[in-house]
Amino acid sequence: MGKEDLYTHTPMMQQYLGIKAQHPDMLLFYRMGDFYELFFEDAEKAARLLNITLTTRGASAGSPIKMAGVPYHSAEQYLARLLKLGESVVIAEQVGDPATSKGPVDRQVARIVTPGTLTDSGLLDETRDTLILAIAPGMVNTAPGNETVGVAWLNLAAGRFQVTQVNTATLPALLARVRPAEVLAPDDFAFDGAPCAVRRLAPWQFDPGGAQTRLAQQFGSRDLAGFGVADLPLAIAAAGALLDYIQTTQRTALPHIQAIHAERDSDFVQLDAATRRNLELTETLRGEAAPTLLSVLDTTATGMGTRLLRHWLHHPLRDRTVLTRRRDAIGVLAEASDAAAAINRLLKSCADVERISGRIALKNARPRDLSGLRDTLALLPGLAAALPDDRARLADLQAALAARPDLHELLASAIQPEPASVLREGGVIADGYDADLDELRALTRDAGAFLLELETRERARSGIGTLKVEYNKVHGFYIEVSRAQSENVPDDYRRRQTLKNAERYITPELKAFEDKALSARDRALAREKALFDALLDTLTPHVQDLLAIAAALAETDVLASQAERAGTLRLNPPEYDEEPGIVVCGGRHPVVEAQVTHFIANDVSLTRSRQMLLITGPNMGGKSTYMRQVALITLLACCGLWVPASAAKIGDVDQIFTRIGASDDLAGGRSTFMVEMTETAHILHNASANSLVLLDEIGRGTSTFDGLALAWAVARHLVTATRAFTLFATHYFELTQLAQEFRQLVNVHLDAKEHGADLVFLHAVEEGPASQSYGIQVARLAGVPTPVIHAARRHLRELEDAQLQPGPQGDLFAAHLPNDEPPPHPALDQLRELDPDTLTPKAALDMLYALKAHL
């Protein structure tokens, strides 16, 4: 909107539109008295999203003003709903005094709230990290269609800043692991399918040179040489754009962001998005929080502990030193069960120190944040003493939980034992902390005694026994008498308000007291705010120490909770092997086991000489559960956690892949079979000899022979080319013949027995192939009508009889399969040897004629 157009509006609308023009793609909450108002298109959008009333009031520039509003005291709940929908909100507060303003009250942007930059406890989910991520595209020695991109992500509440570079093919897997709440990307970058809000920025904001300068300035260093990111130029560009966005939205310094950390793929066991979904690590296939691996394992006492456990499950490691220290620490706590229980009790009284530290750094901490921090600091000596003696990880945690008497004494002296929830209510700073505040409070406290004494004197002076001295926020202090007695008031009474049955007066003495008392309250509130802000300034240099304490509290919480889980769920410590492979004795699926009364444990052995298990057996026999439990046991071991098994020996695993279940992608135009083949192709292209691969019913989405041929080819490729450790479940019994060709492929089956007309699933894994599929028996158990079952049995017998007759079909698994590919054309050989850059125009034309002669 141009200046000429702006001047056609009323002064207040000019102010509103001026702020809105600076943030055109965000909703603007514009403070007016006790409400935040939204106007024009913002009002229509908010009314639709929040289901609030849309009204029209007045006019500006000749048009009615559409408006909608929310009460300021309940604005947080409306903000939470908008942020959950991916919206960002600019909050403009009144900064002028309505009583002294000659025009519209001045308003300024107080804060900008976006889905990825939340720090307020009322808007955050205490069980999961809120992250914002930026993507900087570019081509660094990559083929078209698989460009390298720089990625940076930040946990603003904790100040953790991380970067990496990946190619676009693996970007979805990174997003599934990080799970950002908001993504920043250049507006010319083709990027679809993000599971969160996406904000587009100008491409120049991702300039690597400017990013280097901004980041070095933020970290107080000459350059970024000491941060290990010199070989990640695109990641630096992404980090610079992200930092600039955070500084713009937070409108304050970011002292808790002091470093940047490079993340390397080789640090972690890689899981793609499909694997995380299929294993139901932290949410079910339906998007629910339970039953999942996290819901079964999480008995942590703090939000910090839950967030860390969630992070561990999504970031399995390959560093055996870290894993061994975690595993052994759980063991020490499991043996000292009384200590673990005492730690849990103490942790339940701890505040969320990580997020409080972030709010201190951002200068938006609330009074109860500081009282919670004070009370948590008081618990540190007890927590450190409760940790059992251990020379490894627990000793490090004891040191990190060392008492901070300086900070505790400061907060104990400064903050009331039970402070008000918000600073504007007063009652936050402790008595005795500041002499000026104490004096102002004394004036306010003494008001009650003065008013009682004044009331007694005025009753005696006026002879009106029902006279009362009172106060309200609108009219201040006043003397009230009944209408009948109003003729008897002294001459110095001045009428302040007339009611139906009473008159209210003010006297010179009462007016003088009012000015002093009300001024004292306002000055006390202003003094408290100044003292509270100064306290935040004092605490800010200690934020890094507080974050270290928070990290130690979170890890102690996770380790103590896993010690409890070890006993309750009958978990055992995994053994780490230098040789690749996965060997599990008595393995169980922890989530399924928690839902049933009796679970059948099974073994698995995957080694270089036993590389693939071809799993057959009936539907509902437990094939998928068996495969998933192997993956979950492997993943838990790679998190340093104890596993649901009698024993487990886990070698080095670089990736876990799953192709389990049937689903389509209608929005993307992909059928169930296309999704299946896409996921299979991804596995075949990316799995290595150290990967764990789970494949369930490959080929079932197409015709019998197409599916059988594909399943056979995929299995054969995994055995001969990829050589990954593979669990391959199938109903194609013909595939069991592959065991005769490859010694490293072993047939196993899930056992089931027929008992009369009933089918009993034993859920036990046995060596060798299954004898039959039991599909018709399973259909009968599912309630398929009896006539259909009978018809199916008859047709099955006909098909089996027909299969016994000699026919023209060849053996799919013959040693020498016919080559269905046509012989190579001689023109193709010439084209492969051709170098177009060395040909003159005439030579190129001669070559074209020569190639045509081959047709």
Residues placed in the known binding site for ATP: 617-624
**Cβ(744)–Cβ(719) below 8 Å:** yes
Q: Write down the number of H helices and E strands in the chain.
A: 29, 27
**What count of other Cβ atoms lies within 10 Å of the Cβ of residue 855?**
6
Q: What 8-state DSSP symbol labels residue 368? A: H
Q: What 8-state DSSP symbol labels residue 644? A: S
| Closest C-alpha to 658, from 633, 679, 635, 681 | 679
- Reported as half-sphere exposure (CB side, CA atoms, 13 A), residue 544 has a value of 7
What is the length of the chain? 855
**What count of other Cβ atoms lies within 10 Å of the Cβ of residue 714?**
25
The one-letter amino acid at 221: S
Which residues participate in the annotated binding site? Answer: 617-624
| Closest C-alpha to 631, from 604, 597, 599, 600 | 604
**Cβ(644)–Cβ(571) below 8 Å:** yes
Q: Which residues contact 86 (CB under 8 A, 6 or more apart)?
A: 115, 196, 197
The one-letter amino acid at 770: A
Q: What is the DSSP string of 513-567?
A: HHHHHHHHHHHHHHHHHHHHHHHHHHHGGGHHHHHHHHHHHHHHHHHHHHHHHHH
Q: What 8-state DSSP symbol labels residue 429? A: B
**What count of other Cβ atoms lies within 10 Å of the Cβ of residue 520?**
19
**Cβ(83)–Cβ(123) below 8 Å:** yes
Q: What is the DSSP string of 288-329?
A: -SSSSHHHHH---SSHHHHHHHHHHHHS-B--HHHHHHHHHH
- Reported as half-sphere exposure (CB side, CA atoms, 13 A), residue 55 has a value of 8
In the block, tokens 């002499």 appear at 435
In the block, tokens 């937070």 appear at 250
Extended beta strands in 607-688, E state: 612-616, 647-650, 655-659
